[in-house]
Amino acid sequence: MKRALKWIALAALMAAIWAVWGRAQGVPGQTVPGLRPGTVQELQPVPVSRGDLTVTVQATGLVQPQNRLEIKPPIAGRMEEVLAREGEKVKRGQILAWMSSTERAALLDAARAKGEKVLAHWEEIYKPAPLLAPLDGTIIGRRVEPGQTVTAQDAVFVLSDRLIVLAQVDETDIGQVRLKQEAALTLDAYPDREIVAVVDQIAYEAKTVNNVTIYEVDVLPAEVPESMRSGMTANVLFVTDSKKGVLLVPSEAVQREQGRVVVLIARPGGGPPEIKPVETGATDGKMTEITSGLNEGDSVLVRSKGNLSARKNLKSPFTPDFQRRSRSEQR
């Protein structure tokens, strides 16, 4: 009894495939279960070909300094001369500004009132104090101008050793991200420019953002472009897998049927398609790697993109609902 039911189900499935194939070929009198009357569904053959496949994980992030340092004056007083400007690259020990202590500023103001000769005398005796860069980096913030009075708590410069992207990766994807992994960055401000980068650090502690658990990942650009600015929004693609010269088919051609992964292949010279079990590998969502079951030059069948209404209403020939419909129409 079970064997008879199995043969009946197989016959119904083949009848459904014949119906789809007949309709795709324009055979009169054929109907396609799952379609509204008046719609046409075509199965389009797509050749199995070799190509390259890159699998990625996408995340968003923010450009920020890897090490952000606020430079504060060692003493309170007045900025006499500011040498560094925003965006300038500086070296450790480089003089960023000259400043007078509160006492020197008061003394010079009094000497200036007595004339240039007296002022020059005291400027020679009482030298200003230099403000030095503590490390190599780029000035990303200048918050002081000559003549401005400052305290020892005022951050007069902001220094960054280099800019990175702090990406927020969903916990469901973090398992595919690893140290030294290749990544590609695009900035919202410059979407046509791709920046090569690498994963530098993965946070050990999760954060919750908008009720979503994420991990912060430091993404280090191989070369920081001049247009990159702190605070810019970036899109990050982590390359999780990359394969060269593998067999590829459109992902929509791959279906699951009775616990198997199968495709519909077109037979040479016409005729009904054949259900072919296959084994798959990596996929980027659009294309899927075929590791066994197909050869280069075979043709798999996918739904035509020409009739959107038909595509929305077509039931897959592998689904039980499709098979029930086909059996009903056979009666």
Contact of 54 with 248, CB cutoff 8 Å: no
CA torsion angle 291 293 299 305 (round to 10): -60
Query: pLDDT tens, 101-133?
Result: 999 999 999 999 999 999 999 999 999 999 999
Where in the chain are the domains? 1-35+308-331, 56-65+163-242, 68-160
- What does CATH list as the number for 68-160? 2.40.50.100
Picking from 273, 256, 302, 255, the residue whose alpha carbon sits closest to that of residue 48 is 302
Residue 139 token pair: 């000035």
pLDDT at res. 130: 95
pLDDT at res. 308: 42
pLDDT (tens place) for every residue of the chain, 331 residues total: 545 555 455 455 555 554 544 444 443 323 333 333 333 357 888 999 999 998 889 999 999 998 889 999 989 999 999 999 998 999 999 999 999 999 999 999 999 999 999 999 999 999 999 999 999 999 999 999 999 999 999 999 999 988 999 999 999 999 999 999 999 999 999 999 999 999 999 999 999 988 999 999 999 999 989 889 989 999 999 998 889 999 999 999 998 888 899 998 887 776 788 889 999 999 988 999 999 999 998 999 998 765 444 444 444 544 445 445 444 444 4
pLDDT at res. 3: 52
Grouping H, G, I as helix, E, B as strand and the rest as coil, residue 121 is helix
Q: Which residues pair with 292 in a beta bridge?
A: 279
Q: Which fold has domain 56-65+163-242?
A: Elongation Factor Tu (Ef-tu); domain 3 (2.40.30)
